[in-house]
């Protein structure tokens, strides 16, 4: 049974960079596609993008100019950087797994990131 766990600061200042890491256990990261998804409080889900273990990425055009994802196969981790954050980036951030063009079949518990000075 794969498990995903997000980690990172819960508070980020406006204009700074939000950085999160997802640690995968119970399965190798060297398969599947690994996504970040966010959910502002009381609102719907938004897919941010995915990274494949090879490093190939696909970002949501709405965030592409501010997003960078990376993968560390030696640690079975992948990461999200979102720069120039504003209050609109306050959300619960989830990491999740897909097999490509397929649904998200496993999710982390999510981590709330608040953007505030």
Partner 1 sequence: IVMTQSPDSLAVSLGERATINCKSSQTVLYGSNNKNYLAWYQQKPGQPPKLLLYWASTRESGVPDRFSGSGSGTDFTLTISSLQAEDLAVYYCQQYYTTPWTFGQGTKVEIK
For partner 1, the binding residues (CB under 8 A) are: 35, 44-47, 58, 60-62, 94, 96, 98, 101-105, 107-110
In the complex, least distance from residue 13 CB atom to partner 1, rounded to whole angstroms? 26
Q: Are strands 77-82 and 91-98 parallel, antiparallel or unpaired?
A: unpaired
User: Do 5 and 108 contact (CB within 8 A), yes or no?
Assistant: yes
User: Which of 46-51's residues contact partners 24+ apart within 8 Å by CB, and which partners?
Assistant: 46/91, 48/80, 48/82, 48/93, 50/98, 51/78
Name the residue nearer to partner 1 (CB basis): 8 or 110: 110
In the complex, least distance from residue 43 CB atom to partner 1, rounded to whole angstroms? 8
In the complex, least distance from residue 74 CB atom to partner 1, rounded to whole angstroms? 26
CA distance 19 to 38: 13
Name the residue nearer to partner 1 (CB basis): 36 or 115: 36
In the complex, least distance from residue 45 CB atom to partner 1, rounded to whole angstroms? 4
Q: Are strands 33-39 and 46-52 parallel, antiparallel or unpaired?
A: antiparallel
Name the residue nearer to partner 1 (CB basis): 53 or 104: 104
């Amino acid at each position: 049974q794969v498990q995903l766990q997000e980690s990172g600061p819960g508070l980020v200042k406006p204009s700074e960079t939000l950085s999160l890491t997802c640690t995968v256990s119970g399965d190798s990261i060297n398969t599947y596609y690994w996504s970040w998804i966010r959910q502002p409080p009381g609102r719907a889900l938004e897919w941010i993008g995915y990274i494949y273990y090879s490093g190939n990425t696909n970002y949501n055009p709405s965030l592409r100019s501010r997003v960078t994802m990376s993968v560390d196969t030696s640690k079975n981790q992948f990461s999200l950087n979102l720069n120039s954050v504003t209050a609109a980036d306050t959300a619960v951030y989830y990491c999740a797994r897909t097999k490509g063009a397929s649904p998200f079949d496993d999710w982390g518990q999510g981590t709330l990131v608040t953007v505030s000075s």
